[in-house]
Amino acid sequence: MKRHLAVALVALLLVSLWSFASVRAEDFPRNETIYTANSAPPTSANPFQGGNIIGIDGLVFEPLFMLNFMTTELKPWLAEYGKWVDSTTYEVKLREGTKWQDGKPLTAEDVKFSFEYYEKLGLKKFEGLSEIKVVDDRTVRFIFSGQPNVWVWDQNLYSVLIIPKHIFENLDPEKVKTMTFTGDDKKYLVGSGAYRLKEVVEQQKSILERNEDWWGAKYFNKPAAKYIIQLYVSSNDQAANMFLKGDLDVATYYLDIAELKKQNPNIVSWLDKEPYFPPVVPVVLYFNTQHEPMNMPAFRKAIAMAINPEQIVQQGPISAVPDQTPLGPIMQGWKDKIGAKDLINEYGWKYGDLQDAMKILDQLGIKDTDGDGIREYNGKPLELHFVTCSGCSDWIQAGEIIANQLKPLGIKVVIDKGDWTNFFMQKLNSGDFDLALHWAGTFKPDPYSVYYNLMYYKNETDKGAANFGNYHNERANELLQKLAATPNADEQVEYLKELTQIWLQEVPAVPVYTGTVFYEANTQYWKNWPNEKNPYGVPIFWPGFGTWGTALAMLGVEPAQTPTPSETTGSPGGTTTTTGGGGGICGPAALLLLAAVPLLLRRRR
């Protein structure tokens, strides 16, 4: 028995050594290689759907514009410019010299083909678009039959990757949907970007190699890193260990930045102090406005006043204190334009104002008539049900704090928990709840999308995707319709001001804390990572976010030291760690039912 056990252990050791050797089979100069990681192994380089390799979108295939999600700004990329030449015609002019990685020119024909191909894939439906007209090799016009939604159109400018017509015109869109573009199919990955896919090592890593003949070097400078290697790092513990040893340069993991910095001062994040992680968008407390007494704006405002976000931030999830609008820190530029501070002062509420909140409920006739500490409404104790998913410990924790904050107000809050799909989302979508937390409506790239998702309501089947509380205001609908139609900046500001005023007066939902994204970088080998003071790129190093600003971040880093010939090491991968679950936090894929979104809301220890 002992002999068999010894043989088994030796076999296991040999397998481990073989695996480690295979990871290190090809060496890369450390000062020419950026190492990032993902919690799933790289298996697909599909640029359209299902891909899980960082940079296929943005670094291999490029859009007309890049979005910087941290500033909500669009940066011309393949496009020299894009503009509305009249109310129904959008013109794009390509930069001079754009070309594919096989040397063929990238032209307006490729742009036209790409937009049409996305429709054939079933990934896009361009409402009202009647014609895509190629004017010349560098100019294309998108012509609409009616008034287009200018905000939705802007989203297409960075979410549609431009693909080579001479490659994809012979590929069946139905077949393309399921291709991984690895192995023999890798030959079709002919992009225009600064990197090309060199190799995918199954269950271990993917390797991007710099395109030495990138057209964009003329406009954006040549990328500093020759290689970008994405490792399969399954746990937070493993990632932390690799950061400490200098084996990882940048990633999106649930790590304790303060503790890491004590052991390795080269570790940085978005902020230089707690919470370190970048605050992006508010998590809001939804009211079911179809349930009494939450159909009354004054009642909703009383609850908003009784909530104390500072306490939630101190005792709950790692986060930041929000203001009263649903527009998070990423939209500070828009908030400055509409004068959000002045609007809050005039129409908003003061958080943690329990005394005035009690006065409002008294004025509404919602009082504690029997002296048991709970107010009565229509002769019954006022009891509200807060629904959440049983695995969302961050939301459960925040919900418990909110329940305790509303107790002195005379409101009893019961927390109901269940699984994500069949309980939580079912409750939200069916309107079977009183209170709930979510950020589906605020994790958006522009203020129109935030207000549309949270406030638009015509009927049960025609409403904003995140209007779980079925809030309805006809004036808000009118403003959203006008806002959708105008590219005029002054008009946009005026409509957004009034929408913000309605939000503050009507309180469809309450921002209770600002959620953060996980982000850690190492300056040992690479510097100039994006941060609060230099937000040139987006700190979301996750597949599918390349055109949201991850590509901008990868292209903006610089070597931390002068390269020396001796600085060559094997690929990281031999780090001994413990594997941690990292569970108990509301998972990204479940939240929006989209590709994994790393807006994970970290719980305090």
Over residues 482-522, the pLDDT tens digits come to 999 999 999 999 999 999 999 999 999 999 999 999 999 99
The answer to whether the CB of 189 falls within 8 A of the CB of 169 is no
Report the pLDDT value the prediction gives residue 561, as an integer from 0 to 100. 81
Residues 213 and 331 in one domain: no
pLDDT one-digit tens code per residue, 5-21: 343 433 433 333 333 33
Question: For the residues 296-307, what does the mean pLDDT come to?
Answer: 98
Q: Tell me: do 390 and 500 sit in the same domain.
A: yes
Task: Tell me the pLDDT tens digit for each residue of 44-53.
Answer: 999 999 999 9
Domain that holds residue 495: 279-516
Nearest to 487 by CA among 153, 150, 154: 150
Distances in whole angstroms, Cα of residue 484 to Cα of each of 290, 457, 493, 586: 27, 15, 12, 32
Q: pTM, whole model, 2 decimals? A: 0.89
pLDDT greater than 60 at residue 138 = yes
Q: Where are the beta strands (DSSP E) in 372-485?
A: 376-377, 380-381, 383-389, 412-418, 435-438, 457-459, 462-463
CA 261 to chain centre: 25
Confidence category of residue 200, pLDDT binned at 50, 70, 90? very high
> Which pLDDT does position 11 carry in this prediction?
40
Q: What's the whole-number mean pLDDT along residues 307-336?
A: 95
Give the number of residues written for the chain. Answer: 605
Asked if pLDDT for residue 112 goes beyond 70, the answer is: yes
CA separation (Å) from 308 to 312, 349, 563?
Answer: 7, 12, 51
Q: How far apart are CA 301 and CA 211, in angstroms?
A: 56
Is residue 141 domain-resident? yes
Residues 98 and 179 in one domain: yes
The domain that contains 101 carries what CATH number? Answer: 3.40.190.10
How far is the C-alpha of 210 from the C-alpha of 205, rounded, in Å? 17
**Do 302 and 201 reside in the same domain of the chain?**
no
Strands (E), 79-226: 79-86, 89-94, 129-136, 139-144, 195-201, 205-210
Note whether residue 598 is domain-resident: no
Pair 299, 448 in one domain: yes
Burial 63-95 (b: 16+ CB within 10 A, else e): bbbbbbbbbbebbbbbbbebebeeebebbbbbb
Residues 551, 456 share a domain = no
CB 47 within 8 A of CB 551: no
In a domain, 565, yes or no: no
Among 464, 486, 516, give the residue marking a domain's end: 516
pLDDT reading at 252 higher than 90? yes
Domain membership of residue 585 (yes or no) is: no
pLDDT band at residue 580 using 50, 70 and 90 as cut-offs: very low
Rounded CA separation 301/346 (Å): 14
Is residue 588 situated within a structural domain?
no
Contacts 24+ apart (CB under 8 A), 102-109: 102/164, 102/190, 103/213, 104/164, 104/166, 105/137, 106/78, 106/162, 106/164, 106/192, 106/215, 107/137, 107/138, 108/134, 108/135, 108/136, 108/137, 108/138, 108/139, 108/140, 109/134, 109/137, 109/165
Q: Which of 488, 516, 544 is the last residue of a domain?
A: 516
How distant, in Å, are the alpha carbons of 144, 343, 436, 559 from that of 219? Answer: 31, 41, 47, 20
Better-scored residue on pLDDT, 132 or 203:
132
Residue 372 lies in a domain: yes
Q: Choose one of 543, 559, 575: the last residue of a domain.
A: 559
CA distance 411 to 110: 60
Q: Are 321 and 197 found together in one domain?
A: no
How far is residue 251's CA from residue 542's CA, in Å, rounded to a whole number?
Answer: 8
Total domain count for the chain?
2
Q: CA 81, CA 464: separation in Å to the nearest integer?
A: 31
Distance CA 126, CA 499 (A): 26
- Confirm whether 246 is domain-assigned: no
- What does 190-237 look like in DSSP terms, one character per residue? --SSSEEEEEEETTTEEEEEE-TT-TTHHHH---S-SEEEEEE---HH
Token digits for 453? 């998702």
Residue 547 lies in a domain: yes
Please list, in sequence order, all residues whose beta carbon lies within 8 angstroms of the beta carbon of residue 566, skipping any fewer than 6 positions away: none
Q: What does the mean pLDDT of the chain come to? A: 90
Over residues 441-466, the pLDDT tens digits come to 999 999 999 999 999 999 999 999 99
Q: Are 305 and 349 in contact (CB under 8 A)?
A: yes
298 and 358, same domain (yes or no): yes
Angle separating helix axes 489-506 and 447-455, nearest 10 degrees: 40
Domain identity same for 340 and 469: yes
Residue type, 284: V
Mean pLDDT of 347-357: 98
Is the predicted pLDDT of residue 410 greater than 50, yes or no? Answer: yes
Instruction: Output the pLDDT for position 593.
Output: 30
320 and 455 co-located in one domain: yes
Tell me if residue 392 falls in helix, strand or coil. coil
CATH number at residue 414: 3.10.105.10
Q: How far apart are CA 149 and CA 462, in angstroms?
A: 16
Return all residues near 590 (Cβ < 8 A) that are at least 6 apart: 389, 420, 421
Do 93 and 208 fall into the same domain? Answer: yes
Q: Say what the pLDDT of residue 271 is.
A: 96
Average pLDDT over residues 31-47: 96
Torsion of CA 47, 49, 52, 54, to 10 degrees: 40
- Do 101 and 157 contact (CB within 8 A), yes or no? no
**Same-domain check for residues 221 and 330:** no
